[in-house]
A and B are shown apart, each in its own frame.
Chain A
Amino acid sequence: MGQLATCYLQNIITQFSGPCCVSSVAHAVALQGLHQPSRCHQPSLYCSASPSPLSSSQLSQPVPNQPLQHFASLWKNCCAVPNMHSFGYRANALLTFGITLLALMCGMASFSDNINSPSPSAHVQVLNINWFQKQPKGNDEVSMTMNISADLQSLFTWNTKQVFVFLAAEYETPKNSLNQISLWDGIIPSKEHAKFWIHTSNKYRFIDQGRNLRGKEFNLTMHWHVMPKTGKMSADKIVMPGYRLPEEYR
């Protein structure tokens, strides 16, 4: 019982290396012999699988004693080890099996996300520049009203918990090779809400590091981050180029 953790690793190795579906008796016995000295026994996995091919193949032969002998030797090799049916071993086997199954299911759920090939669409319209000015500290700041519409339904799979979507203004200045400023974001909890249309002014302040925004061309990029119920997170974006700020403060 104390070696649960080390046994867990060993159990995983033995489970994946084959004895779950034992085909020939000799193979099974050899495996049992091999495993006897080890400290991790899993009676349920080994014993249930091995006798069945034996009885079906051997019973058709005229000598009736043989299968019984084989069975006895199997029993001796496999189950007559002291302490085999103790609570500790059963708990160990159950725990190992449970955790392995759970991990496998999580892995499969995460992997199944790769099969989905989404085709989202987005459209943003800048309706109005509400105001555009220089802050006392010298940085340009702009406020605008936008129309955002998007269809992200194809991003949702059965392993999707939520999709985080945000719209960022991206531009280059002489000082900075990249500026990304989030203007609006939202959490989409389910597929039904994934096709939306929103009329909003920028939720976060659009402030430059410097005074470069007059007449600045910028991209509006719709980013989304898919959060799975379990497993790997994924992200992608749609870049919408060709937006321009006014030449003068207003």
Chain B
Amino acid sequence: MHILATEGLTKRFPTVTAVDQLSVTVGPGVTGLVGANGAGKSTLIKILLGLLPPTGGAARVLDLDVTSQGAEIRRLVGYMPEHECLPPDVSATELVVHLAQMSGLPRTAARERAADVLRHVGLAEERYRPIGGYSTGMKQRVKLAQALVHDPRLIFLDEPTNGLDPRGRDEMLMLIKRIGTEFGISVLVTSHLLGELERICDHVIVIDAGRLLRSSAIGEFTQATQTVTVEVDEGTEPLAARLAERGQTVSQQGRMLVVKVLGPETYDMIRDATADLDLCLIRLEQGRHRIEDVFREEVAGV
């Protein structure tokens, strides 16, 4: 079943086309939406929330049409904006209870849900203090809590790791993974950093200038190209030449050679080639392949 699907979705602003003929489907689980700043991620989320009418094409969220059933969609999804959106003079508890009521939860249920959700995102006693005194990490947690409080079936997280330090980033990512698995809530999370998404996503969609570059399961991304990194003391060029001769795909990156793994024979060939050339092998390392590299290749290919 599709959580959301778009068909030729287009959004044109007077000066720029933010989303361009986008056709993509998203299944349950955690899906990453990746693109540089200004790639159209936030615009896409606003369209999917039914807040921005598309110029062309169609989109369905939880099998509801975004142009005609926006209110029903907003009842069933949660949204964490990219920008700061918290009033400083109320406490996290009061804000989250209030926003739960805005989603239609009766007051007592809203209180219970708010307490539950704030505990899940890791806000303890400080939740009774005014938000103005919170750190960036705590504010991001409150923003996440308000998106979860009405137990949505799908949440849109717009750049949830923005402004966090490395540790806060890790905690936020783990939390998002838990939401997708333990909580059973589907997640669409945007980021301009691919590295952090590959740790938590089941599926990644890459967009650039509003166009779909790629949409595939995370496994395909990392399996697409296996490489091995070779470092020798001297004679990098002869080795590269020798390997290329034998039909290997070799590229030089600084002092290192990156060799595409075609099969187990690639490793044998590298071993034999270094031995034949009598080179001093310093490093032979399984390529720590990141989807970032795939992204780079694809952007280069476009």
Chains A and B bind each other: no
- A residues in contact (CB < 8 Å) with B: none
